[in-house]
């Protein structure tokens, strides 16, 4: 195989026949108007306008259509976004007001619950007191019944004694052989 030879351009810049660098400008009419040789009559050509049916025109039309389509789409999206944002703001404000109303209702319910708890506690305490009072009254009632029973027994005993004594006073006892009647 043969060795590869690398070729490179010469190291020094190329010079024209007069030994000076030549510089080119892409906008010749502009560079001529700024040059010191402006007074020299140089005819400049302007670029030819593009025709509508030329290939560059189709590209421009496509770009213009795409730009118009994107602009329209952007406008529609901005309208939708604004409407969505307004709807969300409306819903958020409604939600906030409903939350505030629910908090007030919750506070009222808590107050009512506290009052109910206080009432239930009071009634429970009153019931406990009544149960204790009924128990005391039952004990007193039993004591009174026992006393009444004792008194009735004593009255019965007294009545029997009085009957026997009244009988002996009304009917004198006769003496029999061994007993007294």
Which 8-state DSSP code applies to residue 172? P
pLDDT at 101 over 80: yes
pTM (two decimals): 0.40
Cα separation, 102 vs 38, in Å, equals 86
Cα separation, 49 vs 64, in Å, equals 18
Helix (H, G, I), strand (E, B) or coil at 175: strand
Structure tokens, 46: 């302007």
In this predicted structure, what is the pLDDT of residue 168?
60
The pLDDT tens digits for 123-161 are 999 999 999 999 999 999 999 999 999 999 999 988 888
pLDDT at 98 over 80: yes
In this predicted structure, what is the pLDDT of residue 139?
96
In this predicted structure, what is the pLDDT of residue 1?
55
Spans of all domains in the chain: 59-169
Cα separation, 129 vs 122, in Å, equals 11
């Amino acid at each position: 195989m043969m060795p590869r030879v690398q070729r490179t351009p010469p190291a020094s810049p190329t010079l024209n026949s007069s030994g000076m660098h030549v510089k080119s400008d892409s906008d010749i009419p502009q560079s001529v108007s700024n040059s010191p040789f402006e007074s020299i009559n140089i005819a400049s050509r302007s670029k030819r306008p593009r025709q509508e049916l030329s290939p560059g025109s189709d590209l421009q039309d496509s770009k213009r259509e795409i730009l118009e389509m994107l602009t329209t789409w952007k406008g529609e999206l901005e309208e939708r976004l604004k409407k969505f944002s307004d709807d969300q703001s409306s819903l958020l404000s409604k939600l906030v007001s409903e939350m505030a109303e629910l908090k007030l209702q919750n506070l009222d319910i808590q107050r009512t619950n506290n009052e109910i708890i206080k009432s239930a506690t009071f009634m429970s305490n009153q019931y406990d007191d009544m149960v204790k009072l009924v128990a005391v009254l039952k004990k007193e009632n039993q004591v009174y019944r026992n006393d009444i029973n004792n008194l009735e027994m004593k009255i019965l005993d007294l009545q029997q004694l009085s009957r026997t004594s009244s009988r002996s006073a009304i009917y004198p006892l006769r003496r029999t052989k061994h007993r007294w009647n």
